[in-house]
């Protein structure tokens, strides 16, 4: 297995997180005129409620959480994938296999397994809050696509 495939997957997810958490597109891209009359049209479909999600915005600023995950390096990326997989209903066996593969990758890149585990444990609550923020903002269709992609990456 190539050492670069998980790196590319993690980078793609990180880019996707940043792209999905940004603001809505400017009016010139959508062709709509900004203003209250077009706000509903520009917002697109409303986010579908998720079981157990009351729509309240979780604690934490997305940019600050992203910055912290970046500081935690590979463990931050692994924790983000792990948190998405858990939110999308991955089994305990899939989550354990994912964590083991990420630990193996980290050690192949020169990080001690114990250090990776420490960083991962620190990153997981941050990633979980970050995923919760995305979940509130996502439409049902985007959530479905995200879950399909994340769960497929575990296989």
Rounded to two decimals, what is the model's pTM?
A: 0.60
27: its two tokens: 């009016």
Tokens 């590319």 belong to residue: 8
The mean of the pLDDT values for the chain is: 74
Model confidence over 30-58: pLDDT tens digits?
A: 444 444 443 433 343 343 434 444 555 55
Sequence spans of domains, the chain: 4-19+61-153
Alpha helices in the chain (DSSP H): 4-20, 27-30, 36-43, 62-71, 73-87, 92-108, 113-137, 140-153
At residue 142, the pLDDT reads 81
At residue 2, the pLDDT reads 41
* Average pLDDT of the segment spanning 120-136: 90
Q: Kindly provide the residue ranges of all beta strands, DSSP E only, lying in 27-135, ordered along the sequence.
A: none
């Amino acid at each position: 297995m190539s050492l670069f495939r998980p790196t590319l997957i993690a980078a793609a997810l990180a880019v996707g997180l940043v792209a999905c958490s940004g603001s809505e597109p400017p009016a010139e891209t959508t062709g709509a005129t900004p203003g209250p009359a077009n706000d509903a049209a520009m917002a697109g479909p409303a986010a579908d409620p998720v079981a157990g999600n009351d729509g309240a915005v979780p604690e934490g600023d997305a940019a600050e959480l992203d910055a912290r995950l970046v500081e935690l390096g590979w463990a931050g990326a692994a924790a983000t994938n792990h948190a998405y997989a858990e939110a999308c209903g991955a089994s305990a066996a899939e989550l354990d296999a994912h964590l083991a593969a990420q630990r193996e990758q980290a050690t192949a890149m020169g990080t001690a397994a114990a250090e990776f585990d420490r960083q991962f444990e620190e990153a997981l609550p941050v990633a979980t809050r970050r995923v919760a923020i995305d979940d509130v903002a996502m439409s049902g269709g985007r959530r479905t696509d995200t879950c399909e992609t994340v769960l497929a990456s575990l296989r």
